[in-house]
A and B are shown apart, each in its own frame.
Chain A
């Protein structure tokens, strides 16, 4: 990233005469799940300095509320702010040079896809990636995202060496040693500490853009979970996909993928010609939002069974990195498949000894008649110090659930209680329906987070629909 636009500790009001800001437009925003649309003024500044001016000029507005928005991949209402100002970071897209230690300065609006296009040919991979490349650096930090390597490498912010943050009270550069309280409040803080302008990321050295993947098919849940525990010791990346339609003794059957970056010597002749080719963007898109969901009960069950059937156990297959990490990117705008009512994603983590919660979850959803189009199970390693950071050691399960079945809402409220009783928690980047009471119980370090907020945002300027729904904020309690 370019040199900081304002010195560390610069304060609002320091800037004098400047060109006009880009025009703000009124827009309806939703998250990736396409539920809960609300309207906000949206501004897309081209320079970090303009972000800062937009943020500060909104200070004292009749209706407070500013939040940053990247690529809108949060499933719920994290990157929308009804009646307020939404600062899109898409034009903050500069990528610095990668140094010998793998450190790179990037603007907040840079997507992992863009970063990989630059870094992979030089032999650098992102330290952590979720199931899509279409997330920004700002979003990755704000949600403290995790990937298939969490058990070995932790979450995204463990690999962030510094963050440039525009808070309502000043632009600051923070790191794990400089103002660690603010650094860790920003890690997983859902954008509520301010607008992230850029960060320095430590990348991972790779020889190829290919993966060596062991695939195992397991006919029931306990065997699958045993296998997940086993491969975590031997593989950097692991994940299991569950067939939610399977019942009885096949409950929780699924496919386990365990992978590592392939070495150049392992590639076949054609791959070896360009071993570091970056993955393509999606060739096909869902062109319009479907008037009715294509993803319903029957199609979901058929899809789950077909996926299970097509994935027999195979060791040591060499696969392109895009297909392994980012299966969601094969089809652009796939969230439109769920029809006008959208879908919710429910992801939680429970401690390792609470395998029973996974079983209860699958049974509960089947009882409620909820169609689950996708269920992904993985083991987390220890969490990082972020008070609102989601990961902690244990099992995490992510479920895609189309809105529609009448019992779904109640079933998810039951699930909240199950997760809470097991001392687990729900992932805010996926959430669109948790209540403030359950949330506060799941994140007992909330008050620590809010103490930091009171320091950098005493007026409660930073707000999102999510923070309002969950009542997070310096003035919230």
Chain B
């Protein structure tokens, strides 16, 4: 069960090989989380992440392979995760894939792939997670969104649109969970220096997986519906959202 500080005893991570997901698991396990089920695509990295969780002190670690292109499998992956963990106190939805813009822009297959991994699969999985929460009468979820979805930019609109969709979906799903014991927190990191963003030049404001993990867990404890990381992005985007499109379009990022 989650304790009074919303620290889980068992966690299911979808997209467990991402740097942010690994950082979150590390934090939770060091705070007393005992059961960890890690789901991801890359078996080698998955094994690495499992080793990390064990080393941090988890007494039970299991891994699950899945491919986020296979949307039909999403519910099944969630079901397997729940049955492996027993009761799941926290689900982390951490999978993500950046598009190669502008190269991908004219390739419908690649666009679809980015939308599937970042939106369709996670949305399908979350739908199933919510069902489990209703049945359990409890459960928290952390959904990794992005500021890229808060106001979508020309230079990153494929990924941004998908995250915008996921962000809206997760927040709305959370409303349907009122009174069920389940609760979803959306995390909106800024530019994170990580494996995913390797080779991209960082904007003036960037953050790290560890910092995002700390903010996410603090948000969980606070019972926040939306967590910005770093926190001051909330203020910056309040302004950015108001900019007329003509100016927004001309901003240099």
Most B CB within 10 A of own CB, among A35, A40, A83, A435 = A83
Most B CB within 10 A of own CB, among A39, A344, A434, A465 = A39
Q: Is A133 part of the binding interface, using a Cβ–Cβ cutoff of 8 Å? A: no
Q: Is B223 part of the binding interface, using a Cβ–Cβ cutoff of 8 Å? A: yes
- Contact A82-B138, Cβ < 8 Å, known A340-B223, A435-B32: yes
Most B CB within 10 A of own CB, among A26, A340, A409 = A409
Q: Which residues 25-45 in B have Cβ within 8 Å of A in the complex?
A: 31-32, 34
Q: Is B175 part of the binding interface, using a Cβ–Cβ cutoff of 8 Å? A: no
Q: Are A28 and B87 in contact (CB under 8 A)?
A: no
Q: Are A26 and B179 in contact (CB under 8 A)?
A: yes
Q: How far is the CA of A37 from the CA of B34 in the complex (A)?
A: 21
Q: Is B2 part of the binding interface, using a Cβ–Cβ cutoff of 8 Å? A: yes
Q: Are B4 and A82 in contact (CB under 8 A)?
A: no
What 0/1 readout, one digit per residue, does chain A (75-86) give for beta carbons within 8 Å of chain B?
011000111100
Q: Is B198 part of the binding interface, using a Cβ–Cβ cutoff of 8 Å? A: no
- The closest CB in chain A to the CB of B3 belongs to A433
Q: Is A341 part of the binding interface, using a Cβ–Cβ cutoff of 8 Å? A: yes
Q: Which residues does chain A contribute within 8 Å of B31, judged by CB atoms?
A: 409
Q: Is B206 part of the binding interface, using a Cβ–Cβ cutoff of 8 Å? A: no
Q: Is B51 part of the binding interface, using a Cβ–Cβ cutoff of 8 Å? A: no
Q: Is A236 part of the binding interface, using a Cβ–Cβ cutoff of 8 Å? A: no
Interface SS of B by simple majority: loop
Q: Are B5 and A409 in contact (CB under 8 A)?
A: yes
Q: Is A381 part of the binding interface, using a Cβ–Cβ cutoff of 8 Å? A: no
- Contact A409-B135, Cβ < 8 Å, known A36-B2, A340-B223: no
Q: Is A403 part of the binding interface, using a Cβ–Cβ cutoff of 8 Å? A: yes
Q: Are A82 and B181 in contact (CB under 8 A)?
A: yes
Q: Are A33 and B137 in contact (CB under 8 A)?
A: no
Q: Is B7 part of the binding interface, using a Cβ–Cβ cutoff of 8 Å? A: yes
B2 to chain A, nearest CB (A): 6
Q: Which residues 431-473 in A have Cβ within 8 Å of B in the complex?
A: 432-436, 465-466, 468-469
Q: How far is the CA of A434 from the CA of B5 in the complex (A)?
A: 11
Q: Which residues does chain B contribute within 8 Å of A468, judged by CB atoms?
A: 1, 9, 87
Q: Which residues does chain B contribute within 8 Å of A28, judged by CB atoms?
A: 179, 181
Q: Is B249 part of the binding interface, using a Cβ–Cβ cutoff of 8 Å? A: no
Q: Is B180 part of the binding interface, using a Cβ–Cβ cutoff of 8 Å? A: yes
Q: Which residues does chain B contribute within 8 Å of A344, judged by CB atoms?
A: 4
What 0/1 readout, one digit per residue, does chain A (404-418) give for beta carbons within 8 Å of chain B?
001011000100000
Q: Is B233 part of the binding interface, using a Cβ–Cβ cutoff of 8 Å? A: no
Q: Are B137 and A342 in contact (CB under 8 A)?
A: no
Q: How far is the CA of A188 from the CA of B57 in the complex (A)?
A: 31
Q: Which residues does chain A contribute within 8 Å of B221, judged by CB atoms?
A: 403, 409
Q: Is B222 part of the binding interface, using a Cβ–Cβ cutoff of 8 Å? A: yes
Q: Are A432 and B181 in contact (CB under 8 A)?
A: no
Number of interface residues of A (CB under 8 A): 34
Q: Which residues does chain B contribute within 8 Å of A26, judged by CB atoms?
A: 179
- Contact A432-B137, Cβ < 8 Å, known A28-B179, A82-B181, A341-B223: no
Q: How far is the CA of A433 from the CA of B4 in the complex (A)?
A: 5
- Contact A39-B4, Cβ < 8 Å, known A406-B218, A468-B87: no
Residue from A341, A403, A406, A409 in contact with B7 in the complex, judged by beta carbons closer than 8 Å = A409
Q: Which residues 172-226 in B have Cβ within 8 Å of A in the complex?
A: 179-181, 218, 221-223
Q: Is B136 part of the binding interface, using a Cβ–Cβ cutoff of 8 Å? A: yes
Most A CB within 10 A of own CB, among B4, B136, B138 = B4
Q: Is A311 part of the binding interface, using a Cβ–Cβ cutoff of 8 Å? A: no
Q: How far is the CA of A140 from the CA of B85 in the complex (A)?
A: 35
A436 to chain B, nearest CB (A): 8
Residue from A37, A81, A341, A413 in contact with B222 in the complex, judged by beta carbons closer than 8 Å = A341
Q: Are B5 and A82 in contact (CB under 8 A)?
A: no
A4 to chain B, nearest CB (A): 33
Q: How far is the CA of A40 from the CA of B179 in the complex (A)?
A: 10
B221 to chain A, nearest CB (A): 8
Q: Are A38 and B4 in contact (CB under 8 A)?
A: no
Q: How far is the CA of A76 from the CA of B1 in the complex (A)?
A: 12
Q: How far is the CA of A435 from the CA of B7 in the complex (A)?
A: 10
What 0/1 readout, one digit per residue, does chain A (1-44) give for beta carbons within 8 Å of chain B?
00000000000000000000000001010000101111110000
Q: Is A247 part of the binding interface, using a Cβ–Cβ cutoff of 8 Å? A: no
What 0/1 readout, one digit per residue, does chain A (38-70) give for beta carbons within 8 Å of chain B?
111000000000000000000000010000000
Q: How far is the CA of A278 from the CA of B63 in the complex (A)?
A: 62
Q: Are A82 and B223 in contact (CB under 8 A)?
A: no
Q: Are B138 and A433 in contact (CB under 8 A)?
A: no
Residue from A36, A84, A436 in contact with B4 in the complex, judged by beta carbons closer than 8 Å = A36
Q: Are A83 and B135 in contact (CB under 8 A)?
A: yes
Most A CB within 10 A of own CB, among B1, B180, B222 = B1
Q: How far is the CA of A197 from the CA of B5 in the complex (A)?
A: 33
Q: How far is the CA of A409 from the CA of B217 in the complex (A)?
A: 12
Q: Are A39 and B7 in contact (CB under 8 A)?
A: no
Residue from B6, B32, B135, B181 in contact with A63 in the complex, judged by beta carbons closer than 8 Å = B135
Interface of A with B (CB < 8 Å)?
A: 26, 28, 33, 35-40, 63, 76-77, 81-84, 340-342, 344, 403, 406, 408-409, 413, 432-436, 465-466, 468-469
Q: Identify 22 residue pairs between A and B in the complex whose beta-carbon atoms are under 8 Å apart, listed by A's number.
A: A36-B6, A37-B181, A38-B138, A38-B181, A39-B179, A39-B181, A81-B137, A82-B138, A83-B135, A341-B223, A403-B4, A403-B5, A406-B218, A409-B7, A409-B31, A432-B3, A433-B3, A433-B5, A433-B7, A436-B34, A465-B138, A469-B3
Besides A36-B3, A39-B181, A77-B1, 11 more A-B contacts (Cβ < 8 Å) are A36-B2, A39-B138, A82-B1, A341-B223, A344-B4, A403-B4, A409-B5, A435-B3, A465-B1, A469-B1, A469-B3
Interface of B with A (CB < 8 Å)?
A: 1-7, 9, 31-32, 34, 87, 134-138, 179-181, 218, 221-223
Q: Which 6 A-B pairs have the closest CB atoms?
A: A39-B181, A83-B137, A82-B137, A82-B138, A35-B4, A432-B4
